[in-house]
Amino acid sequence: MWRFPPETQAQQGFTGFEALWMTPPPKTRQSLEMGRRAAPFRAFKAWVDVRELSSTAAKPHTTEKKMATQRNTLNSLQIRANGRAAGAERNALITMMARSAEAREQLVAMARLKDKPASAWRGFTTIIPDGPLDKVCSAFHKETDIPLELPYFSLLFFLSGYLLERGVKIEFAGKLRTPETWTILLAPSGSGKTFASGQIAEAAGFEADFPSCASGPAFFQALHEFSEQGKPKLWLEDEFAQKLRGIETPSNPLSEMKEHLLRAYDGKPVDRTTKKDGKVIVEDPRLAILGLNTDEGFYKTVSPESLVDGFAQRFAYVVAREDDERAFTDYPIYDEAALGKACRSAFEAIKAVPLHSAYRVDKEGEAAFRELFGKLFDGQVQKSFYRRAMWLAVKYALFFHILAGKTTDELDGIDFGYAGRLIQIHLNDVKVMLGEAMSDLARIVSKVDKLAAEYHAQGRTLTARDLVHKVHGLRSMSDAKAVLQAVIGCQ
């Protein structure tokens, strides 16, 4: 595992919040020993999935001209199919623009999002040397090509469940808060999502066994049974986008879950009335959620309505990318014994920390939270998303307090310094997620922005008719008017 040299620790500010948050991480760590290379964590470079046209050998009688014609026909069909899919998404979003000023403002804000590319793997600045995350991420870096966000956030998910099981709470802003987290973790297909979470789950010593329910009534029944048995509710779901789509579709059997989940998120009792049992109430419906999905699958499935009405904003998003420095072909076999040992050691360290029934935030911690709230907001993520993300910082401060092995019941500025760095990852990744999910609308908004600037410079008025003629994808006056009203009104 890596270590910060003593002088680097002082530079990093492990003795004070201001230095911890404001000082950039050192660019080199020659003391880092991770498997085959003595090198620091490399940048998770943005990668592009380039698909090459695969061709089969031509039969002897097939001419080159015929082959070219076949390829052009296939490409044309694919382009048409993609266009129909994009058109359906675009039309749904434009229709939403016409509904209300709030929808117009939020959709245009989302379409204008720009993420900040990371110059190094985002997670290393949040890892406490020799701590549980250090052990796990070091092992996965050495033994696998798996993106490190997968074991990292899997560990935080099970830590959340562990604290829920122990009844731990946080006193902050005049309210007792609970440590459950809702995270959606996106990664490329075949990147090891299930494997990584499985390794962490086995070492945790308890299961994420909240069932994948097929209907709203089944979900409520599971909430009730787990509460009656006093079991922590840990919901780990693969292909989570499909579940979200079902919850958002009014005619779907899962649609009833939405109201239950919204109340659970707010910590309010959930109830349901049946002829057989009458009114049944679940007083404590809190549950931790880790939803896994391929990135491309999620972008194709996520509901635009969900992005606007706030349900999707209850989740923290992580977009994991493959590491160019750890080639897939260099890891034909994973050393599961070494991974298991590291994961078990991590949870042994976590469980060795004495817990308090309630933690409070000291004056330094509250000052750190206030400072973070001002520093992290760049105006690109809408305020509702941002505020929910910042409340998550309070839970993360507790996590880092435990991960550092601290035995006091006070969360301090350093705890919030680590939490702030992790929140910044979520804020960056939500821009990536929203940008990908709304890429077609983003192109239209960008084009209208440019036209509006040009027309303004010329002293002319941009009209809906201009948009129909000059913006690809806007074919009707009604769509053009909705977009024009949204973009011009939100500038």
Residue 6, pLDDT > 70, answer: no
- CA 37 to centroid of chain Cα atoms: 30
pLDDT bracket for residue 176 (50, 70, 90): very high
pLDDT bracket for residue 304 (50, 70, 90): low
Same domain for 305 and 454, yes or no, is no
Same domain for 344 and 239, yes or no, is yes
Q: What average pLDDT does this structure show over 396-421? A: 97
pLDDT bracket for residue 303 (50, 70, 90): low
End-to-end Cα separation, the chain, in angstroms: 49
Same domain for 330 and 472, yes or no, is no
377 neighbors 386 (Cβ within 8 angstroms): yes
Q: What average pLDDT does this structure show over 38-65? A: 33
* Number of domains present in the structure of the chain: 2
Q: Give residue 24's region: left, alpha or beta (phi > 0; psi -120 to 50).
A: beta
Instruction: Please name which of 214, 223, 316, 307 lies closest in space to residue 268, comparing C-alpha atoms.
Output: 223
Q: Is residue 386 part of a domain?
A: yes
Same domain for 286 and 410, yes or no, is yes
Residue 23, pLDDT > 50, answer: no
* Boundary (domain end) residue, out of 401, 420, 437: 437
Phi/psi for 411 (5° steps) reads -90, 125
Same domain for 433 and 452, yes or no, is no
Q: Provide, rounded to the nearest whole percent, the portion of the chain with pLDDT above 70.
A: 72
* Boundary (domain end) residue, out of 413, 437, 461: 437
According to the model, what pLDDT value does residue 379 have? Answer: 80
Count CB atoms within 10 A of the CB of residue 218: 16
According to the model, what pLDDT value does residue 52 have? Answer: 31
Phi/psi for 290 (5° steps) reads -130, 105
Q: Is residue 68 part of a domain?
A: no
- Give the C-alpha distances (Å, rounded to integers) separating 92 from 89, 100, 385, 391, 397: 5, 14, 22, 31, 39
482 neighbors 97 (Cβ within 8 angstroms): yes
Residue 213, pLDDT > 70, answer: yes
Residue 174, pLDDT > 70, answer: yes
Count CB atoms within 10 A of the CB of residue 85: 12
Instruction: Please name which of 145, 151, 138 lies closest in space to residue 35, comparing C-alpha atoms.
Output: 138
Q: pLDDT, tens digit, for every residue of 81-119?
A: 444 444 455 456 566 666 666 655 655 655 555 554 444
d(CA 344, CA 349): 9
Q: Is residue 24 part of a domain?
A: no
According to the model, what pLDDT value does residue 26 have? Answer: 41
Same domain for 158 and 189, yes or no, is yes
According to the model, what pLDDT value does residue 483 have? Answer: 80
Q: Give residue 474's region: left, alpha or beta (phi > 0; psi -120 to 50).
A: beta
Same domain for 181 and 316, yes or no, is yes
Sign of CA dihedral 375, 381, 383, 387: negative
For 437-455, b/e burial (b = at least 16 CB within 10 A) is: bbebbbbbbebbbebbeee
Residue 203, pLDDT > 80, answer: yes
Q: Is residue 10 part of a domain?
A: no
Q: Is residue 400 part of a domain?
A: yes
According to the model, what pLDDT value does residue 476 have? Answer: 82
According to the model, what pLDDT value does residue 308 have? Answer: 63
Count CB atoms within 10 A of the CB of residue 103: 19
Residue 45, pLDDT > 50, answer: no
Same domain for 188 and 245, yes or no, is yes
Instruction: Please name which of 305, 318, 310, 197 lies closest in space to residue 249, comparing C-alpha atoms.
Output: 305
Same domain for 332 and 264, yes or no, is yes
Token digits for 453? 């600037």
Same domain for 447 and 433, yes or no, is no
**144 lies in which domain range?**
119-437
114 neighbors 431 (Cβ within 8 angstroms): yes
Residue 47, pLDDT > 50, answer: no
- Sequence-distant (≥ 6) Cβ neighbours of residue 296 within 8 angstroms: 49, 188, 189
According to the model, what pLDDT value does residue 180 have? Answer: 96
Residue 63, pLDDT > 80, answer: no
Q: Is residue 67 part of a domain?
A: no
Q: Provide, rounded to the nearest whole percent, the portion of the chain with pLDDT above 90.
A: 49
Residue 390, pLDDT > 70, answer: yes
Phi/psi for 187 (5° steps) reads -155, 160
Q: Who has greater pLDDT, 56 or 434? A: 434
Mean pLDDT of the chain: 79
Q: Is residue 63 part of a domain?
A: no
Q: Is residue 12 part of a domain?
A: no
According to the model, what pLDDT value does residue 290 have? Answer: 97
- Sequence-distant (≥ 6) Cβ neighbours of residue 115 within 8 angstroms: 428, 429, 431, 432, 435
Q: pLDDT, tens digit, for every residue of 315-361?
A: 999 999 888 888 889 999 999 999 999 999 999 999 999 999 999 99
According to the model, what pLDDT value does residue 72 have? Answer: 54
d(CA 482, CA 276): 49
Q: At what angle do helices 101-111 and 439-457 cross, to 10 degrees?
A: 100
Residue 414, pLDDT > 90, answer: yes
For 271-303, b/e burial (b = at least 16 CB within 10 A) is: ebeeeeeeeeebebbbbbbbbbbbbeebbebbb
- CATH number, domain of 125, equals 3.40.50
Same domain for 443 and 323, yes or no, is no
Write the burial class of residue 89 (CB in 10 Å: 0-12 exposed, 13-18 middle, 19+ buried). Answer: middle
Same domain for 378 and 460, yes or no, is no
